[in-house]
Amino acid sequence: MGATTWMYPEATVSLEEVIEVIGALERGFREAYAAYLKKVESFARPPTIGERWPREGYFLPNLDVFMVEVLLRTAPQTLKALETLGEKPKVGERS
């Protein structure tokens, strides 16, 4: 609960802020996983990195495969709808 208050001290959050935060989260996931893959390279016996997942053996998905799965699991329809709303002119604005 406290983290939310610290990040958003205001009573409301604008659509632009929501989209910005979601983009930052996506970039953060990408950067964190990329760093993990870099660390994995230093293992004495690194797993094979590619299109396969650990449930299939000693594998890890590459960055692109991982990010596709992240985006599929984080409601892509909602993100697309938010982006579309963010592009519409606001009340009183001209398009």
- Dihedral angle sign, alpha carbons of residues 74, 62, 40, 47: positive
> Phi-psi category of 59—alpha, beta or left, where left has phi over 0 and alpha has psi -120 to 50?
beta
Residue 1 confidence (pLDDT) above 50: no
Tell me if 22 is assigned to some domain: yes
Tell me if 71 is assigned to some domain: yes
Tell me if 90 is assigned to some domain: no
* pLDDT (mean) for 19-23: 81
Each residue of 40-82: pLDDT tens digit?
Answer: 999 999 999 999 999 999 999 999 999 999 988 887 777 777 7
Tell me if 92 is assigned to some domain: no
Model pTM? 0.72
Per the structure, the complete domain to which residue 62 belongs is given by 14-84
Tell me if 30 is assigned to some domain: yes
Domain total in the chain: 1
Residue 9 confidence (pLDDT) above 70: no
Tell me if 38 is assigned to some domain: yes
pLDDT of residue 18: 80
